[in-house]
Structure 1
C-alpha cells in the first residue's frame, strides 16, 4: 500500500462521529458492553480509569442531566446499547437519564482512577446478585480489548480490536513527507472530511444561536459580516480569523455543555475535530478556492494535527486542541495561500514557542477559551511567517520541526508526569 493510501486509511479511521465528550461516552460505552455481557440490569457499577480519562470526565456536560463526572457517565451507560459506540448518547431517553441520576445518587455507580495507568484505560465492572461481568477499553475510545460475562455467547459479544496499539503512519513519517502526502491526496476520496466539517458546523450554529456552555463563540461579534471578501486581493483576514474563532468556539461551547448533537471527532477528540476542520473550512471559503482544493486543505490540517497528537499522546497533558489544532490550521492556511513546506515548518516552530504551555486541565466549558487562543494564534502566526518572522532555535524550538515536536512531546510525557496528580487534587478541592 502506498503512502498516500495509508494516510487516507488513517484519516478515515481517526474521523469518528460522537455525541458528547468522548471520555464520558467511552466510559458509558464500556459499561454498556459489560451490562450486555452480564445479561441483566446491574446492582452495582464500578469503573477504573487512567488519570487523564478520569480528569476529562470530571466537569464536562452530559446529555439530559445537570449532573457531571465519570460515575454519572457510568450510570448513563446502564441504560444504553453499545452498538452505536461513541454515538450511544443519541439513544438516551430523558426518562432514563433520571433513572441514571437515581443510580448515581444511590452510590451504586462509582468511578476511580489508578495512577499507575499511563494510557487511555477504561475498565467497567458490573454485578447483580448472581453474576459479574467486565469490559475493558484501551488505547482508543472504542477499542474493546476484554469482555467477560455469562451472556457473551448469547449476544455474540467478543473483544474486537487490538490489545496493543498498532503501528501507524505517524510513527516514522517526517513533516516534509507528511506535507507532501497530504497535499497530493485525491480530492475525490476526501468527501468524508467535507461531511465532517459540515457536521461540526451544525453544532457550531447551535452554539451561536443558543449561547451554550460558556458562550465564548456567541460573545465574539457579528459573525455574518466577517467573511466579506470579494476575492483574493481584498480578503479580510481579520474578519475570517474572528469568524473562525467564533464558529470553533461555539461548537466547543455546545459540545462541552452536553448538547446531544453529533460531532466529527479527530484522534479521539471532538474539540480537535472542530478546531482542525472548521477554521480551515472558513479560510478556504473566504479565499473562494475550488471544492477539490478545500477538501485537500482539510486533509492536510487533519493529517498535521494527528501527526502532532501522536507524539503528544492520545490524552495529552498539553491541550492538543489548541496546540496540535493550531498546527493543522497554520499548515493548511499557508498551503491554501500557495506556500510549500518550508514556511510551514517555520510557522510550526514559531507556534511551539507560544502554545506549548497551554495545559489540559480536563474537558469542561472553558475549553472554548483555549480553542479561541489556538485558532487565532495558528492563523496569525502563519501570516507573521509570511512577513519573515522566524524564531531562532532555543528552548523547545529546535533546528527542525520534527525535533521541535519531539521536544514538546518530551515535555508533555516526561517533564509533566506529575501534573495529573496536581490537577486531580485541584479538581477534588472544588470551587
Structure 2
C-alpha cells in the first residue's frame, strides 16, 4: 500500500500545478517562449499550428497579463518576446509593459501566422520561430506544460515527450489508479504528505475567487449570485466562489489558479466548493 500511496502523492503533486490564466493561450505562450529560446536570436516570423479544440478555447478569452489582448497571435508573441519558458504555465508572469506595448504594435502585422492542424483531435500546439535560414520548433501534445518535442534546424533537443526534471514516469504511475485505492488514499494519507500542494491550491484559488467577487470580470456570475441570492446559504457561496474565480481567470486576471487535469476551471470547481463547505461545517484542516 505504501508504494501505491507514494505513487498517488506524486500524481497529486504533479497534477496540482499553478497556471496563469486560461491554459490554452498560456500553453501557446509556453511553446512560443520555448521555440524563441531555442532559436537563440531575435525572430522575424512565428508560425503557430493548433488543433481545432485549442483554437476554440483561445478564440475569445483574454490572454493573461496582456493588458486585455485576445487570440492566438497575442499569446504567441507575448510568450516569444517576454515569456519565461522555465516557468511553464506561469510563463507570462514576466511580461512587462514594454513587451505588452510592443505586441500591441505588431500583433496585426502578419509576423505571426496561425494554421489549423487538420484532423488532429485534442490538444496539439506547434510553434516555429524563424530568422533567415534558422528555425526552432516546440510541440505540445496532450499536455499543456511539458514539451513533446523541441528542435532547432531539424535537430531534436527534446524528443517524444521526455519530461524534464522528472524522476518518475507518471504515465506508468497512473496505471495504478483505481477507485478503491483512491478512496483509501483520501481517507488515510498523512496530511503532511500533501499539505504543500493542497495549501497552495486553497490559497491561490481562494485569492482569485475573492478578486472575481471584488471586481467586474466577464459575466460577473459570482458577483451576481452574491448580490441576488442569500449569501448566508453555503450552497450559494460554493457556487459563487467557483464562478467568480472562473470569471476572473477567463478575463485575463493576472492571479494564478491551481489546475486539475490540465484545467483551471476544473481546478476551481473541485476545490472552492469543498473549502466553503469545510468552513461552514467548521471542519479541521
Structure 1 residue aligned with 2:71: 69
Structure 1 residue aligned with 2:52: 51
Cα distance in 2, alignment partners of residues 73 and 205 from structure 1: 26
- Change in 2 beyond 3 A, CA 1:81/1:174: closer
Q: How far does residue 206 in structure 1 lie from its aligned partner after superposition?
A: 0.8
Q: How far does residue 72 in structure 1 lie from its aligned partner after superposition?
A: 1.9
Residue 263 of structure 2 corresponds to residue 273 of structure 1:
no
Aligned runs of 1:4-403 on 2, under 5 Å? 4-62=5-63, 63-79=65-81, 80-149=83-152, 158-159=157-158, 162=161, 167-171=171-175, 173-191=177-195, 192-221=197-226, 226-227=231-232, 239-291=233-285
Cα distance in 2, alignment partners of residues 258 and 96 from structure 1: 16
Normalised TM-score (structure 1): 0.60
SS of the counterpart of 2:61? Answer: coil
SS of the counterpart of 2:241? Answer: helix
Structure 2 residue aligned with 1:3: 4
Cα distance in 1, alignment partners of residues 37 and 189 from structure 2: 41
Q: Can you give the 5+ residue segments of structure 1 that lack an aligned partner in the other structure?
A: 228-238, 292-431
Preserved contact between residue 150 and residue 159 of structure 2 (Cα < 8 Å): no
CA offsets 1:147-173 (integer angstroms, 9 cap, x no match): 1226x9xxxx94287369953555464
- Change in 2 beyond 3 A, CA 1:173/1:195: closer
- Change in 2 beyond 3 A, CA 1:9/1:161: farther
Q: Which structure's residues are more often strand, by fraction?
A: 2
Preserved contact between residue 68 and residue 252 of structure 2 (Cα < 8 Å): no
- Change in 2 beyond 3 A, CA 1:205/1:41: same
SS of the counterpart of 1:258? Answer: coil
RMSD after superposition: 2.4
Cα distance in 1, alignment partners of residues 264 and 8 from structure 2: 20
> Greater Rg, structure 1 or structure 2?
1
Q: Which segment drifts farther, 167-176 or 81-90? A: 167-176
Structure 1 residue aligned with 2:166: none
Preserved contact between residue 20 and residue 89 of structure 1 (Cα < 8 Å): no
Q: How far does residue 98 in structure 1 lie from its aligned partner after superposition?
A: 2.1
Which structure exhibits the higher relative contact order, with contacts defined as CA atoms closer than 8 Å and separated by 6 or more residues? 2
SS of the counterpart of 1:220? Answer: helix
Count of matched residue pairs? 275
Cα distance in 2, alignment partners of residues 223 and 18 from structure 1: 31
SS of the counterpart of 1:137? Answer: strand
